[in-house]
Amino acid sequence: MTDIQATEASGTFAAERASKPPFAGINWNWLGLLPFLIFVALFLVAPVLYLVNGAFQNAEGQYTLANIIALGSDNIVSSYSLSIRLSLVSAGIGALTGLLVAYAVILGGLPDWVRHAFTTFSGVASNFAGVPLAFAFIATLGRLGLVTLIFRDVFGVNIYAVGFNLFSFWGLALTYLYFQLPLMLLVVTPAMEGLKAEWREAAESLGASRAQYWRLVALPVLTPSVLGCFLLLFANAFGTLATVIALTGSSYSVVPIMLYNQIRGNVLYNPNLGYALALGMVVIMAVTNLLYLVLRNRAERWQK
């Protein structure tokens, strides 16, 4: 009797297995991720591996550490220093001003149409860079720019005579703010919206003033998000090339311009050193983005 039941059970299992369509146990949801994985492999992983391989080779294809050692030369160190300082300044000013604008727009009690207008403008301005941005600032704040002439002819103030120069370090930092500030506004908005009204009401019920609420509750909650946004702005400014080269030419030696000269230049042509420069940029960007992800995960704990 037992053998008959076992035979029937095995026959039923075989019939069910035969009735199932092939590949029924495969999760096809992963198929939608395939284009993204192909894109990452072709445009992120493969180029980085190519840079790593080229950075440790010479012109003859022999493996060497000369390119990595050359990164310690004075001109390359000064180039990295300039790029880092410019990125830190533009990211710091952009994060601070963007935070204040976000507070005014989101928590300042302004009409909804003002918020929508700022959000729409920020979405466009955060992606406005390169030659158009450089031309816009030259036409506005150049030596014969509109604002420069208004200050000179209407108010009698020559901004270039008192020390301002669009084609200097602080001029570049000011130009960067055009896309750094809107990006900060867009990225910090979810964190601002995550400040729950219950926290403010609880602080007020316990006798806390508005300043104490911001110092002891709101700012500690916002700090990971603000620091993460600062790192994102730093990475955004560090890799900028078109704006700098369109505004100042190749004379302002930030790392992207030095890299461009090594890859495409006629005098400083050394592609393998350019690969080493790019590898250094990749390392800095990777560390920056890793810290940003850590801070973002910490900030999301309060937003859930």
Q: Taking a C-beta distance cutoff of 8 angstroms, is the pair 268, 252 a contact?
A: no
More confident residue, 192 or 10: 192
Q: Can you give the residue ranges of every domain in the chain?
A: 73-303
Please write the tens of the pLDDT for every residue from 164-216.
Answer: 888 888 989 999 999 999 999 999 988 888 888 888 888 888 888 888 888 88
Give residue 20's pLDDT: 54
Please write the tens of the pLDDT for every residue from 56-69.
Answer: 998 888 899 999 99
Q: Residues near 247 by Cβ (< 8 Å), separated by ≥ 6?
A: 134, 137, 138, 166, 167, 171, 172, 175
Give residue 258's pLDDT: 86
CATH architecture of the domain with range 73-303: Orthogonal Bundle (1.10)
More confident residue, 265 or 108: 108
CA dihedral 220, 226, 227, 233 (to 10 degrees): 180
Q: Is the pTM of this model over 0.85?
A: no
